[in-house]
Amino acid sequence: MLKNTASSYGWPMKLLHWLIAILVTMQFFYILAKNNLPEGDPNIGQMMMLHKASGFVIFWLGILFVLWRLANRKPDWPATMSSWQQHLANITHALLYILIILMPLSGILMGMLKGFSINFFNLGTICATRFPQSEALADYFHTLHLYTVWLLGTLIILHIIGALVHKFFYKDDVLKKML
């Protein structure tokens, strides 16, 4: 099934959701791995390359995800879900959509505005030389990147708890619709 229906998400929505979920989770592991390596270790650069190149992919997948969702209906809420729960889920989802675009965008801009290119998985470079340069704006996006990640991390944890509560406490089909 291509499009979302009243009872389930279509396959493009599921594919994009799980690809983004895996790639975003990996972003935290690359940083964690980098922070645990001894100073001067060549793998630090490798971890940052993976972080930046994957982030670039997440940015475009995030845009596709939002566009596909705008062109599609959302499956019906389970009848047991109260209106405050629906509001909470709607707000969390909206913020997740914004952050999976804003996080990589701030990462891309903080480097590009200083003239740094992105090494795309050692396959080629996404070049920044023609990009307008601004130290001040780069610093702004750097700060944004470092702070918004806490909001994203918190929302992801809330989102996962929500999915598990539906599965094991309410025992409804919310998780099944996304699998």
**Interface with ligand HEM (CB under 6 A):** 17, 20-21, 24-25, 27-28, 31, 51-52, 55-56, 58, 69, 74-75, 89, 93, 96-97, 100, 103-104, 107-108, 111, 118, 145-146, 149, 152, 156, 159-160, 163, 174-175, 177-178
> Cβ of residue 91: shortest distance to ligand HEM, in angstroms?
11
> Cβ of residue 42: shortest distance to ligand HEM, in angstroms?
17
- Contacts of residue 146, defined as CB under 8 A and 6 or more positions apart, other chains included, come to none
Q: What is the DSSP string of 53-82?
A: HHHHHHHHHHHHHHHHHHTSPPPPPPTT--
CB 48 within 8 A of CB 29: no
> Cβ of residue 1: shortest distance to ligand HEM, in angstroms?
15
CB 138 within 8 A of CB 46: no
Q: In whole angstroms, how far apart are CA 88 and each of 84, 106, 162?
A: 6, 26, 10
If we measure between CA atoms, which residue out of 142, 104, 118, 28 comes closest to residue 36? 28
> Cβ of residue 126: shortest distance to ligand HEM, in angstroms?
8
